[in-house]
Amino acid sequence: MPLQTLSPEAAQQRIAQGALLVDIRARDEYAREHIAAALHIPLAQLAPGNPALAGAQAVIFHCRSGQRTRMAAQQLCDCAGCDAYVLEGGLDAWKRAGLPVRLDAAQPLELQRQVQIAAGSLVLAGTLLGLAVSPWFFALSGFVGAGLVFAGLSGFCGMARLLVRMPWNRVA
């Protein structure tokens, strides 16, 4: 049975009636911002028979935009063991509906966003320096582009591995 979608308002009503809200995002995403009522179980840790879901009458899964929950719909259905729903539009739609979230600005940005910022900054710097200083700086943009292609093909992102070791990303 496919996951049914719920609007943020309908999800809020179901939660008030006892439904379990499960945030499937990564730890760093959850730490920075989440719905207060949400139980955090990363997608990689969800499996049938998960004790955190035992006894639930209904489970509502969500991620940031709804894309991950749609892509993992069958896995999530198999894990639920009860009525299963997806929060339509995820956390983003919840916020657009004006519903409350817990934001901890002291937590670092999600690692994926840090990679995007760092890669974009390096490409921009390489381009500007290539135009203004020396064409050799274009190699920096090419190197970053090649690294992103390699990360996409292999699943290994050296920049993410480097950024996760930065002091602001270390768990206290």
Check which CATH number belongs to the domain holding 29 and give it: 3.40.250.10
Alpha helix ranges (H) inside the chain:
8-16, 27-32, 67-71, 73-80, 90-96, 111-132, 138-154, 158-163
Active site residues: 63
Which pLDDT does position 47 carry in this prediction?
Answer: 83
Q: Is the pLDDT of residue 13 over 60?
A: yes
Which pLDDT does position 73 carry in this prediction?
Answer: 87
- Domain ranges, residue 154: 111-169
Mean pLDDT for 34-46 is 91
pTM of the model: 0.74
Confidence of residue 104 (pLDDT cuts 50, 70, 90): confident
Q: Are residues 29 and 73 in the same domain?
A: yes
Q: Is the pLDDT of residue 88 over 60?
A: yes
Q: Are residues 19 and 63 in the same domain?
A: yes
- Backbone dihedral angles phi then psi of residue 38, each to the nearest 5 degrees: -80, 140
Q: Are residues 84 and 32 in the same domain?
A: yes
